[in-house]
Structure 1
Amino acid sequence: MYLKSFRLENFRKFGESNNAVGFVDSRGFKGNENRNKSINIAKTTTLIVGKNNTGKTTIIKALEYLLDKSSGLSFTDINMNYLKKTFDDYVTSKATDNIVPAIPKIKFEIVIGLEDDSTDLISNLVPFITIASAQDSELTIRVTYEPENIEEFISNLDEVIVDDHNEYEKYVKLVKSTPFKIRYYNASDEPVKNFQLRQLIEMRSIKANNVTSENCLSKAFNKIVKYRASILEQNSGVKGTLESFNKSVTEQLHSEHTDSINQSVGKIKSSEHIKVRLSSNISFNDMLNKLVRYEYVENDLFIPENQFGLGYTNLMMIIADLIEYMERYPEDSFNSKINLISIEEPETFMHPQMQENFIKSINEAIITLLEGRSKNVNSQLIITTHSSHILNSKIHSGGSFDYINYITCNNKESEVVCLKDGLVAPNEPGDENEEKNKKDFEFLKKHIKYRVSELFFSDAVIFVEGITEEVLLNYHLDNDEMLNKHYITVFNINGSHGLVYHNLIQALRVPTLIITDLDIKREEEEKKNYLKMSSVDGRVTTNQTIIKYNENGESIETISLNVPTENMKIVYQCQDKGVYPTSFEEAFILANHDNDILEEVLKEVKRNTYNKIVNDEGGLKEQTYKLQRKLSNNKSDFANSLLYRYLQEETHESIPILPQYIIHGLSWLKTKLNGGE
């Protein structure tokens, strides 16, 4: 059996919906039958990712509260938005005959998966098994934190609160002073008595920042050595040496000190009544804890343990905790309970490369630990993180987006997006695009490594299709007093591959501005003569993003985009000064044709073309498409030269402006970041 999902309702920042966390099953750690097969921890790891203060740790804390007898839930754990809504609904209902009591409750729902071939003992689950749950190979445990005496609470509520929305403070005081209790129910909402969740689930939490002292690494290595010694029986020789050492030291103490001490004592009290015996009693543990010095070797030099790097020390502390966990519990514990291992933000102190290899390091450590063992370590590994490197490692090593729980905030409440391959890259068998969808999915997984994992941790995302947009947009974002307060990631992607990311964008719900090109299809003669577009009548586009979402397909006489999600905005070039630009460069030149900085840069990057256009062909405004074509192989030089000039300016008045369609897109982004629709 295994933890399949965990739903938090009205607990802290979690509200009443989008609050279920999905977990991978525990089969990855199974022991003997897979001894010759490689364990892939990435596939058997549940990842909980998100930005700071979104609720990652809250999920683990909720499980700890439900499992730890010494700590418990309190008034401050109730979602404040929910509490206010409950009160308002109650006051409103009092004006009608259908009164809704304002009974505050925190609810949790735990779904347990049952494996057909499992040897797990399920006696703890009998009260929760229903006919439906047996058929579904899963069962549901509902946990409610509610007033201990609900009838008394309702009575007190009626006495304290009249029909007045301004008495919320009285309601809060009543809730604070009311004793609460945890109750258990099955899927049919029937109460289950004499049950505690800790009878079913055991969890070991490995907290962030395990580096608590200068000798914590010694303690970590001690755990490893003790484990190796006890399991692999490597300490027999050491024990013999210690026994011989203790005997030798005892004899030496006796000859050098014991006799003389007893002679002195005998002068005070008869030696028949009192004698002193000095002996050595150094144990294996004493040796490890007090006598063994831990050092590491670098260039044949021995370096003290307190000079180990913090990242390496933290990794060793995590591995040591895993060893202790495996050794603490007997075989029957692993089979009679669901066993969870939670590692909180392991990236603490680790540099990016170590973060990238973290899951691989844990994978190799567990393989080594299980060598020669017969114990079936049947556990589920949960990692909370805000590291894009660990996220990337999970996707690459596991080859999947499955069991990545993305925690985000929406309307000031935490929400869970449980990712699946089918959600990120839908691909139904028999689909005419099945092969292309597979290739797109492989591309997406590989491209995650190249900054795309930052999608998960950005306040907003901007997709662009060229180096010029990327360079100039980053400058304008840095200099915008509102936008520079947010973490906005600009991704430069090829337009033909942009659609690959759209399902992921929709799933993550991150505000995303897609800046694309009109890409009007031209005949070869039109390209040769550098014909600028003054009309789109009868014209079509080659832009795949516009074609996908335009109700008229490739026809751009009238563009009506039907974007399926409110968190995504697509902008493209529109008519300006009687011309339809077809790329960012053309639109930028058209918007700034009389700007001194732009003219200086064009003169530097394309001197001959610039001189000919200015002197013989009517100026920049008349030859925007020609300039775009001539810059096609010099976009990087063009962008960097512009940026260099920008940085030399003391004021922003002389800086070229962005094209209007991008200004419109950034305005939408500001609205989304401010919580608007």
Structure 2
Amino acid sequence: MQLHSYRLRNFRRLKAAHIELADDISIFVGSNNSGKTSATQAIQAFVTGGRDRFSLYDFSSSCWKAFNEAESINVDDPIPDGLLPSIDLDLWFEVAVPDLYLVFPLLPSAAWEGSKVGIRVSFTARSPLNLIQNYRAAKAKGAAQAAELSPGSEYVPWPRSMTDYLQRELKNEYELRYFVLDHTQFDKNFLEIGDYVPEELRKEQGGGAILKSLIHIDNLGAQRHLADPNPEAGGRSEDLSKRLSRFYKRNLDQRQDDHAALRALFESEQALNSHLDGVFKPMLDRLSKLGYPGVNNPRLKIMSALDPAHVMSQDARVHYQIGEGEDTATLPDSYNGLGFKNLIYMVVEILDAQAKWVAMENRPPLHLIFVEEPEAHLHAQLQQVFIRNVLELLNIKDDVGSIFSSQMVITTHSPHILYERGFKPIRYFRRTKIGREQLTEVLNLSAFYQAQSDDRDFLERYLKLTHCDLFFSDAAILVEGNVERLLLPVMIRKVARPLRSACLCILEVGGAFGHRFQSLIEFLGLTTLIITDIDSVALVVPEADADIDDEEVEEFEVPADEEEDVARQVQDGGQNPASKPVESPPKRKYGKACLPNEPGAATSNQTLIKWLPGKRTIEELRNTSETDKTHELKDNTKVRVAYQTERPITWNGATENLCGRTLEEDFGLENPGWSQSVEKKPLGLIVKGEIADPSALAKGLHKRVSRKSFDKTKFALALLTEDEDAWDVPTYIREGLVWLNEEVRIELETVIPDVDPMAETGGIGEADE
């Protein structure tokens, strides 16, 4: 049996989030405050916590307005369903036919057929009518008592509003209810069809007990508070030795009735040390598979802090053994690095959780383990080793082929962990905004993996090579090459300084491959700026059957014409040419680099041709509007392209509308006098000879930059050494960054829900990792 997925409603920013889980390991990723921690805390609260685990701040912000609107309801009229918000969790289990007896109480009917069984847990009002009446009674009592006070004060007694009342009385007014879900009444997105109302489990059936009999949950939080050798470090901390000792006392054979061992303890401390070595060996062996001790790291050694008076209750101590033979030395556990202590701690916690689950009476068939931010204090390689081998910790020899199974969920901000696991286990928590409310949508990257086969392999390899942080960003910037990547931080500081406070992912993709990111960017719905070159070329028509081997000739593709697609469909036997288009293969074109103002010039840039703005000629690109350069995705997120555009260039007393073919050329045109001064020779942009007018300058820059001897990286590094106030950012990049600044600013602006003043004292459930 596996937990296939779960849906949360009205829980913090997860107002309507459906989260699918892999059958082995799922990885929750997303930018900060996207709801990853909420997704783990919610299911644990519903399954193991009970109603005391919930507070008013766990309701989505829109629910607060609904609570306050309920104040004015007429209690003499029938109370409408859903008047008071509830927090709901739908759990969907994948159950094989032989295991149906495990979920028999959750089958919607005796004739049920299928593989998915569901249960809804709802944190809902006991009685909406009684709640409203209790609130009004409390308000009237407070008003009466306040009336006895001296007049002239602005004091308003409790409860000032319904939300103020529920902050104190929620646990008395709300309860958990359980419902059986019929999978046939839900669509493919696990949303109810029509007006379906699930059947409630009767009190005597014990919905909570049923749920606990199916699933056991453990959570390894991000804050593990391991001890620091500095006593002045402060804060909560835990000695690793104490944690290992608890593991020993709870799970390992302690030989409490072994008198030979007791005698050995009194006669020789070595006997106990040998015993401890033996019982910890399986754990240490499994730890070694996750990269510890590795090369040149001290080995773990478990030793007794021998106290004959309390010999069997005395804590074991972890020491680190250095050297061999007579040169052996041991150090206390606090003298090892936080990274390895964190790794050891996680391994012990996971094994401890597994051992407790295995030892449970009436053991639930499913064990779900949440691990938050395993990368804490671990270097990149050790993060990859951990995620590569962590599933081996879940393997229990006796469970092979049985009804028992384990699933793990990891929340992370580490691109190194994503590097190791690939797309399939990723669940991307995407922040969205509807009106003034900030919400989260959870995307299953395995669906993208299955649907986008053409670009999938390229994207997965690229992200592995770059350790991409795309999944943790507020926005992305796709740049042409290394020069843009080096200079962009300075340009942002110059023209869009607020962007420095945003989490940006800058990807170097080039004009030839940028369009291959289209499917992923659109799937994620991530605000994106594409900074690329116009790459103007003069088209070359090769002779029939002649090979194009001229190094100056670029080969590129353009989509087939629409007329060719229709003709191809008819040729392939389509009866109605308009019914189902048959795409023709793309055409191959050839061109030599030229200035953008050359008549008849086209672009060889695949991003401009195949993605945005979808134009082929320089004339079309020149006349493209700002609207056509922008594509709206979902929930008002957008993608915009920025490439060189013509603007007035003044040189030697003359002014012409020009633009460069590449960043370096356009930079020279943007800063003509400054870049042509003798002092700026390291930039490599000085044009030799007389420069009569702006056109001559553009030609000279084009020839200069097009040479094989021109070092673009050297240009970027030289520019970084200059006073950044002395030069101007090229117009197309400045306009793109200003656009992105506006988009991200809107996305990041603080949203204050329309609720009563008391709500300002809390985060209204939105502040979440």
> How far did residue 210 of structure 1 move?
2.9
Task: Choose from 608, 624, 629 the match for 1:546.
Answer: 608
Match of 1:385 in 2: 412
1:170 aligns with 2:161: yes
Per-residue deviation at 1:134? 4.0
Give the equivalent residue in structure 2 for 1:328. Answer: 356
Do the aligned partners of 1:532 and 1:623 also contact (CA within 8 Å) in 2? no
Instruction: Determine helix, strand or coil for the equivalent of 2:746.
Output: coil
Task: State whether residues 383 and 417 of structure 2, in contact with CA within 8 Å, keep that contact through their aligned partners in structure 1.
Answer: yes
* CA offset digits 1:582-636 (Å, max 9, x no partner): 2222222222212x256457633548x6223648997634533223313774100
- CA separation of 1:642/1:171 partners in 2, compared to 1, >3 Å: closer, same or farther? same
> How far has the Cα of 1:89 moved from its partner?
9.1
Offset, 1:454: 0.7
Distance 2:85 2:314 in 1: 51
User: Which residue identity is paired with 1:130?
Assistant: P
* Secondary structure of the structure 2 residue equivalent to 1:645: coil
Q: Give the partner amino acid of 2:416.
A: H
Using the alignment, how far apart are the partners of 1:204 and 1:73 within structure 2? 18
User: How many Å separate the matches in 1 of 2:115 and 2:521?
Assistant: 33
Helix, strand or coil: the match of 2:729?
A: coil
- 8 Å contact 1:108–1:142 — kept in the other structure? yes
**Is the 2:256–2:312 contact (alpha carbons within 8 Å) kept by the matching residues of 1?**
no
Deviations 1:536-565 (A, max 9, x none): 6x4432211122236765345334457362
Q: Summarize deviations over 1:13-67 as a string: whole Å, max 9, x none.
A: 222x3x1111112xxxxxxxxxxxxxxxxxx211112233322111121122112
Identify which of 60, 64, 67 aligns with 2:44.
Answer: 64
Query: Cα distance, 1:424 vs. partner?
Result: 5.0
Q: 1:146 to 1:590 in 2, by over 3 A?
A: same
Q: Percent identity?
A: 23
Q: CA deviation at 1:676?
A: 6.3
CA distance in structure 2 between the aligned counterparts of 1:72 and 1:149, rounded to whole angstroms: 20
Aligned to 2:671: 592
Q: Secondary structure at the match of 1:54?
A: coil
Distance 1:348 1:289, change over 3 A: farther
Question: Which residue is 1:245 aligned to?
Answer: 264
393 and 293 in structure 1: CA distance in 2 versus 1, 3 angstrom threshold: closer
Change (3 A) 1:517 1:448: same
Q: In the alignment, is the contact (CA less than 8 A) between 1:520 and 1:542 conserved in 2?
A: yes
Change over 3 Å in CA distance of 1:183–1:241 after alignment to 2 = same
Amino acid at match of 2:18: A
Distance 1:365 1:99 in 2: 50
Summarize the Cα distance change of 1:83–1:247 in structure 2 as closer, same or farther, 3 Å threshold.
Answer: closer
Instruction: Report whether the alignment pairs 1:426 with 2:451.
Output: yes
Q: Distance in 1 between matches of 2:512 and 2:616?
A: 14
Counterpart secondary structure, 1:303: strand
- Could you tell me which runs of 5 or more consecutive residues in structure 1 were left unpaired when the two chains were aligned: 26-43, 162-166, 250-279, 428-433
Distance 2:638 2:492 in 1: 19
Q: 1:638 aligns with which of 710, 715, 724?
A: 715
What whole-Å deviation, never above 9, does each CA across 1:386-433 have from its counterpart, x for those lacking one? 2222222222xxxx4344343535355241332234425734xxxxxx
Give the aligned partner of residue 142 of structure 1: 120
Q: Write the distance in 2 (CA, Å) between the matches of 1:324 and 1:524.
A: 70
Matched, 1:467 2:494: no
Q: 2:85 aligns with which of 101, 104, 108?
A: 104
Q: Deviations over 1:351-383 (max 9, x none)?
A: 33322322124245556x759999876111111
Aligned residue for 1:522, secondary structure, equals strand
Q: 1:532 to 1:114 in 2, by over 3 A?
A: same
Matches within 5 A, 1:288-327: 289-290=314-315, 294-297=319-322, 300-327=328-355
Q: 1:51 to 1:586 in 2, by over 3 A?
A: same
Q: State which of 340, 346, 352 in structure 1 corresponds to 2:374.
A: 346
Deviations 1:212-249 (A, max 9, x none): 4477333454577779965xxxx889957515436979
For 1:488, give the aligned amino acid: L
Distance change >3 Å, CA 169–CA 9, structure 1 → 2 = farther
Q: 1:658 to 1:290 in 2, by over 3 A?
A: closer
Alignment pair present for 1:50 and 2:30: yes
1:357 to 375, 380, 385: 385
Q: CA deviation at 1:85?
A: 5.1
1:124-150 Cα deviation digits (max 9, x unpaired): x33432259943411222222121112
Is 1:195 matched up with 2:207? yes
Tell me which protein shows more strand as a share of its residues: 2
One-letter amino acid matched to 1:190:
E
Q: TM-score when scaled to structure 2?
A: 0.67
Cα–Cα, structure 1 residues 237 and 140, in superposed 2: closer, same or farther, change >3 Å?
closer
Contact 1:133 1:140 (8 Å CA) reproduced? no
Q: Any residues of structure 2 matched to 1:67-106 within 5 Å, and which?
A: 67-69=47-49, 71-84=52-65, 87=68, 102-106=83-87
C-alpha spacing 1:373/1:483, structure 2 compared with 1 (3 Å)? closer
Compared CA separation, residues 287 and 170, structure 1 to 2 (3 A): closer
The answer to whether the 8 Å contact 1:45/1:403 transfers is no
Q: 1:155 to 1:499 in 2, by over 3 A?
A: same
1:394 maps to 421
Mapped partners of 1:62, 1:3: distance in 2: 15
Alignment counterpart, residue 520 of structure 2, candidates 504, 511, 534: 504
Q: Counterpart of 1:668?
A: 739
Structure 1 Cα separation of the partners of residues 709 and 665 of structure 2: 11
Paired residue type of 2:221: K
Equivalent runs, 1:445-460 vs 2, <5 Å:
445-460=460-475
Offset, 1:478: 3.5
Q: Residue type matched to 2:374 in 1?
A: P
Partner of 1:14: 14
State the one-letter code of the partner of 2:43.
L
C-alpha separation in 1, matches of 2:160 and 2:431: 30
2:419 partner letter: N
Mapped contact 1:417–1:507 kept (Cα < 8 A): no
Q: In the alignment, does 2:667 pair up with 1:624? A: no
Q: Aligned residue for 1:253?
A: none
Distance 1:6 1:511, change over 3 A: same
CA drift of 1:574 comes to: 1.8
How many residues align? The count is 591
CA displacement at 1:501 relative to structure 2: 2.0
Aligned counterparts of 1:616 and 1:539: Cα–Cα separation in 2: 22
Per-residue CA deviations over 1:155-199 (Å, capped at 9, x if unaligned) read: 5689999xxxxx995232344445111111222422112210323
- CA change 1:579–1:478 in 2 (3 A) is closer
> Matched residue of 2:39: which SS?
helix
Cα distance change on mapping 1:245 and 1:374 into 2, 3 Å: farther
Report the CA distance shift for 1:513/1:579 in structure 2 as closer, same or farther (over 3 A): same
Following superposition, the deviation at residue 666 of structure 1 comes to 1.1
Listed as ranges, the gaps of 5+ residues in structure 2 are: 140-157, 182-196, 229-237, 269-305, 542-551, 554-590, 649-656, 749-769
Residue type of the partner of 1:183? Answer: R
- Give 1 or 2: higher helix fraction: 1
Asked if 1 retains the 8 angstrom alpha-carbon contact of 2:632 and 2:638, the reply is: no
Q: Does structure 2 conserve the Cα–Cα contact (< 8 Å) formed by 1:11 and 1:78?
A: yes
Q: What is the aligned partner in structure 2 of residue 515 from structure 1? A: 531
Shift of 1:200: 2.6
Could you say which residue in structure 2 is the equivalent of 1:603? 681
User: Hey, what's the Cα distance between the residues in 1 that align with 2:593 and 2:530?
Assistant: 27
Quote the RMSD (CA, aligned, Å).
Answer: 4.3
CA contact (8 A) 1:47 1:382 kept: yes
Question: Partners of 2:251 and 2:166 in 1: how far apart?
Answer: 53
